[in-house]
């Protein structure tokens, strides 16, 4: 399968715990995005990488959130001291270089904070 | 005001009907426009790009009005399999390079 893959698909955690999600983009794509989606809403932008450089972070991304893409390939999103409001689907997408470029999404990681 | 606004629906239409969705965007610097489709509990997938001159892909027609900052999607001869949420998406190319999504319009096609 050469699409975007995310791991884990589901995560249930207790409030206050740290969680880390992984995203493997399509191999030739140099752009990688993280989005968060809650029920009834469209995906909300969190952060964007071009190769290993994190070029933009949303105001939604509090200090408890950190993302890395150390070698310009896979990326991780860590949430520290999780809160119930962090419960959502976390979607990763990748796209090739280019002004008008389709973003391909992974199946997402569904986080439930109890 | 949201950057991309859509009527959330749901639009309940019978098979074979024609249905139109509208979307407005606030950033006049937006340069790329798309419609994505999202099935329940699945990831969004590109349905079609939207070009200034308008474009058609089978039963789907997309239109862009830059002056009014308005995008539309027309679905003709609706099928049961068209039932999904349709997301309007824009990209500015400068500043934020990530796609900005609307909240989506839910379509339910009924037999």
A98 pLDDT above the threshold of 90 = no
Q: What is the pLDDT of residue B94?
A: 61
Whole-number pLDDT of residue B92? 73
The confidence score (pLDDT) of residue B1 equals 76
Contact call for A43 and B44, based on CB within 8 A: yes
Distances (CA, A) of A23 to A33, A56, B70: 10, 17, 34
Residue B93, pLDDT score:
62
Structural contact between residues A68 and A53, judged by C-beta atoms closer than 8 angstroms: no
Average pLDDT across chain B, whole number: 92
* Residues B33, B90 contacting (CB under 8 angstroms): yes
Does pLDDT of B28 surpass 80? yes
The answer, for B104 touching chain A at a CB cutoff of 8 Å, is yes
**What percent of chain B is modeled with pLDDT above 90?**
76
Of B46, B87, B98, the CB nearest to A45: B98
Q: Are strands B70-75 and B19-25 parallel, antiparallel or unpaired?
A: antiparallel
Give residue B39's Cα distance to chain centre. 14
- Min CA distance, A56 vs chain B (Å)? 7
Predicted local distance difference test score (pLDDT) of residue A101: 72
The mean predicted confidence, pLDDT, of chain A is: 93
pLDDT of residue A102: 83
Using only the alpha carbons of chain A, give its radius of gyration: 13
Residue B17 C-alpha, separation from nearest chain A C-alpha, in angstroms: 24
Please, are residues B38 and B44 in contact by the beta-carbon 8 Å criterion? yes
The per-residue pLDDT for range B75-98, each reduced to its tens digit, is: 999 999 999 999 999 987 665 567
For residue range A13-38, what is the model confidence (pLDDT) as tens digits? 999 999 999 999 999 899 999 999 99
pLDDT of residue B105: 96
Radius of gyration of chain B from Cα atoms?
A: 13
pLDDT band at B104 (very low <50, low <70, confident <90, very high): very high
Q: Show the beta-strand stretches assigned E in chain B.
A: 4-6, 11-14, 19-25, 32-38, 45-50, 55-57, 60-65, 70-75, 84-91, 100-101, 105-110
Q: Which residue has the higher pLDDT, A58 or A108?
A: A108
Report the Cα B19 to chain-centroid distance in Å.
Answer: 12
The token pair at A103 is 């973003």
Residue pLDDT, tens place only, A24-83 = 999 989 999 999 999 989 999 999 999 999 988 888 788 999 999 998 899 999 999 999
Q: Is the pLDDT at B13 greater than 80, yes or no? A: yes
- Taking the mean position of all CA atoms in its chain, how far away is CA B17? 17
Q: Are A46 and A60 in contact (CB under 8 A)?
A: yes
Closest Cα of chain A to B6: distance in Å?
Answer: 10
* A102 or B39: which leads in pLDDT: B39
Say yes or no to pLDDT of B70 above 90: yes
Query: Quick check: helix, strand or coil at residue B67?
Result: coil
């Amino acid at each position: 399968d050469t699409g975007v893959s995310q791991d884990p698909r589901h995560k249930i955690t207790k409030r206050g715990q740290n969680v880390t999600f992984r995203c493997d983009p399509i191999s030739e794509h140099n752009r990688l995005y993280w989005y968060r989606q809650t029920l009834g809403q469209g995906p909300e932008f969190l952060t964007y990488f071009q190769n290993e450089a994190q070029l933009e972070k949303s105001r939604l991304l509090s200090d408890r959130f950190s993302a890395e893409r150390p070698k310009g390939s896979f990326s991780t999103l860590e949430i520290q001291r999780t809160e119930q409001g962090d419960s959502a689907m976390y979607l990763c997408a990748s796209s090739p270089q280019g002004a008008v470029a389709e973003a391909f999404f992974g199946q997402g990681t569904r986080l439930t904070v109890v | 005001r949201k950057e991309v606004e859509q009527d959330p629906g749901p639009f309940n239409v019978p098979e074979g009907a024609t249905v139109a969705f509208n979307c407005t965007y606030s950033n006049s610097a937006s340069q790329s426009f798309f419609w994505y489709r999202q099935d329940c509990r699945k990831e969004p997938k590109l349905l079609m790009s939207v070009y200034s001159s308008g474009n058609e892909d089978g039963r789907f027609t997309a239109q862009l009005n830059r002056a009014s900052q308005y995008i539309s999607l027309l679905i003709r001869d609706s099928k049961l399999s068209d039932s999904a949420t349709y997301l309007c998406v824009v990209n500015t190319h400068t500043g934020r390079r990530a796609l900005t999504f609307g909240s989506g319009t839910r379509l339910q096609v009924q037999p």
